[in-house]
Every structure is written in C-alpha cells, then in structure tokens.
Structure 1
Amino acid sequence: MDEYIDILNTNGEVSGKTCLKSEAHKKGLFHQSVHIWILDSEKNVIIQKRAADKDVFPNLWDVSVAGHISAGEQPDISAIREIKEEIGLSVSKNDLHYIGTSKKKVIHKANLIDNELHHIYICNINFNFDALKIQVEEVSEIKTIKLENLITAVITEKNNFVPHGKDYYSFVFNELKKLYI
C-alpha cells in the first residue's frame, strides 16, 4: 500500500517534507520505519515470513512486525498500528520498550532504494498464537521460536533471514539478552 511518509534530514529529524512511500524508495529519500520484536514470558519470539510478492526480500524470515511510519505519525503509534495490521495483536504504549535506532541504506536496484531510520522496539506480551491473524499482503507465515534458537538461526542460516546486517542483529539480540536471558 502506498502512503504518505515524512522525509528526514541527515540528522534523522523530520524535515517538513512528505511524499509517497513509492517516491521515497524510487529516489532513495531518507525516511523512517518501525521494527518490533515480540516475545512472551517463555522467551518465544514471533517471526514473520515476508510475502512472496514483496519487492524486497520476499520469502525471507524477518522481525516480528515492521512497517513504515505514516506522515505525521509518532513511532510508537506506528508500532501499535503495524502490530494490529500485520498480525492482529492489540498492544498499548506500555507494552512497547524502545531500544534505539538503526540506519540502513540498501540499493536493491536503480529505482528501489531503501534509505531508512528504523525505530526498534521490544514488546514483551503474552499472546494466544492461534488467535493471531496475518495480513496476507505483507506476511505469508508467522511462527514462534525460542530466543536462543533464533539467535543461533540468524547466525547460521543467513540465507533464510532478511540481511539486516551483523551490527543490527548484534544490537537487537544484546538488548533482548539483557532483558530476558
């Protein structure tokens, strides 16, 4: 779905300019997204398999929920919205633990450039997995995996996971370990 998003300046601050997400990707304009890692009290992490028809990284396993921040929207509100849209789980601001940001620029092809500032959250909430409902336009499958097994899988099975980069995964996994291991 195309939507209006805020364009950021080089410091990662909203510049006052907006454009369609498709235009930002076509021109490589710096914009923001949210990544939410969801796990329960038993350290089961939800991961999603990206839909087969996604422009980038189709059929690869990824963060529990991710999405673009709409123009004028705050990152935490975007996170709550994206979680509900992609997997049908209702959460509140109090369920979100902000851990930081990650900057990433990937040139997928000449007219598809991801230039994003990811706002990263951990959401520790008990959920009924069978009640979750995926947004089939974005996600083909979800499953849970023990945190320790996820860390091992990302390190050893790089071809099955979105290549966010070693620094990104190290940062997220270190934060998860500090909180939950």
Structure 2
Amino acid sequence: MELWDVYTVDREKTGRTWERGTRLAQGDYHLVIHVCIFNKDGQMLIQQRQPFKDGWPNMWDITVGGSATVGDTSQQAAMRELEEEIGLKLDLSDTRPHLTVNFDEGFDDIYLVETDVDLNELTLQESEVQAVQWADEATILNMIRSGTFIPYHGPMIPLLFAMRGQWGGINRVEAISVDE
C-alpha cells in the first residue's frame, strides 16, 4: 500500500494522507514529479514502460515520473524516482522544478536536468522500465504521432526542450528598447 500526502489547492499539506488507487475527495490534491534528463547533444533520455504496467503499457515516456509519497518533498520524490526507475543518483535537493503543470487531481513538478549519462551504467527497475534511449525532439514528436509515446499535449515536448538550461518564460535575448 502506497500513501501520498493530501494537499490543498494552495499546495499546502493538509496533514491527511491518501491511499494510491482510491479516489481523492473534491478539493484534495496530490504531488507528482517528472524528471527529464538531457545530454550535451540536446537529446532527452526516454524510457519504455513494461508491457504489464496498468497505465500506458509498452509506451515510451520522458525520463522518469511518479507520485511523491508521504513526507516527500518534490525534490526527494524526484531523486527517489530517478534512483528507483533507472538507477541514477543525482542530488536535486537544492533544485527547483522548471515547470509545474496543474492537473485535475494535483500538481506535476517537472525538473529539466542536463547531464550526460552512460545508458549501459543504468539499472532499470524491472517492474517499471523495459528500455531506455536518447531521443531528439523530432523523434519524440513522431513517436507521439505514431502512438508509441504517451500522448502529451502537442506543445508540451517542444516546451521541455525549449526550457532546458534556462529559468522562466522569457527568452534570454536582450530586450530591444521601444525608443530605438
């Protein structure tokens, strides 16, 4: 049995917990994280889910994702999921998520990390992940169109690629003065 903290709409812990697989009450939310690892060539590390998974079997997905368990901070959940699913240890304790996407039942913190990873040194969690590979933006978008990648909203994947290596929604190009 996996327990998750229950949050308010303002992202404050209520002190209550929720059992995975049961319905959340109206006005209750939970925290999910995703981590996207990018290499120096600008490719994202993607994973293929096991064929026996309840959700999205055999589908390809971004690097890792999962729910925060009771007591987890967002960063702790991100580090735990990286280590559990692909055997990668990264210290994200002082890292903020690049994006937070709200969904019906909660908050999804998305971390964008640039680091080179040797795929041969990863330990895949047998109950979750059957394969990993590097993929560029165009490949992932083609996989979504072909039905082999989880069907994220159209602009989501390009946004992840665009946001890697920067913070905030403003382009780093120098602003041009209106008076010029």
Q: Which interval holds the TM-score relative to the shorter structure?
A: 0.7 to 0.9
2:161 corresponds to which residue?
173
Following superposition, the deviation at residue 13 of structure 1 comes to 2.7
Sequence identity percentage: 24
Moved more, 124-133 or 87-96: 87-96
- 1:126-170 CA distances to partner (integer Å, 9 max, x unpaired)? 1111111110111122111134533x425643x222123235435
Instruction: Indicate if the aligned counterparts of 2:43 and 2:135 stay in contact, CA closer than 8 A.
Output: yes
2:59 corresponds to which residue?
60
Instruction: Indicate if the aligned counterparts of 2:137 and 2:158 stay in contact, CA closer than 8 A.
Output: no
| Amino acid in the other structure paired with 1:98 | P
- 1:64-117 CA distances to partner (integer Å, 9 max, x unpaired)? 000110111111111111101100111112795621211223xxxxxxxxx231
* Equivalent-residue separation in structure 2 for 1:42 and 1:117 (angstroms): 30
Change (3 A) 1:101 1:88: same
Q: How many residue pairs are counted as aligned between the two chains?
A: 166
Following superposition, the deviation at residue 178 of structure 1 comes to 5.7
Mapping of 1:67-78 within 5 angstroms? 67-78=66-77
Change (3 A) 1:154 1:98: farther
* Equivalent-residue separation in structure 2 for 1:154 and 1:171 (angstroms): 16
Q: Secondary structure, in 3 states, of the residue corresponding to 2:120?
A: helix
Q: What stretches of structure 1 of length at least 5 have no aligned partner?
A: 106-114
- For the pair 1:163 / 2:162, whether they are aligned, the reply is no
Pick one of 128, 140, 144 that aligns with 2:118.
128
Instruction: Indicate if the aligned counterparts of 2:112 and 2:165 stay in contact, CA closer than 8 A.
Output: no
1:111 corresponds to which residue?
none
Change (3 A) 1:116 1:58: farther
Change (3 A) 1:19 1:97: closer
* Equivalent-residue separation in structure 2 for 1:123 and 1:164 (angstroms): 19
Instruction: Indicate if the aligned counterparts of 1:102 and 1:168 stay in contact, CA closer than 8 A.
Output: no
Instruction: Indicate if the aligned counterparts of 1:95 and 1:124 stay in contact, CA closer than 8 A.
Output: no
| Amino acid in the other structure paired with 1:153 | N
| Bigger Rg, structure 1 or 2 | 2
2:177 corresponds to which residue?
none
More helix as a share of residues: 1
* Equivalent-residue separation in structure 1 for 2:2 and 2:76 (angstroms): 16
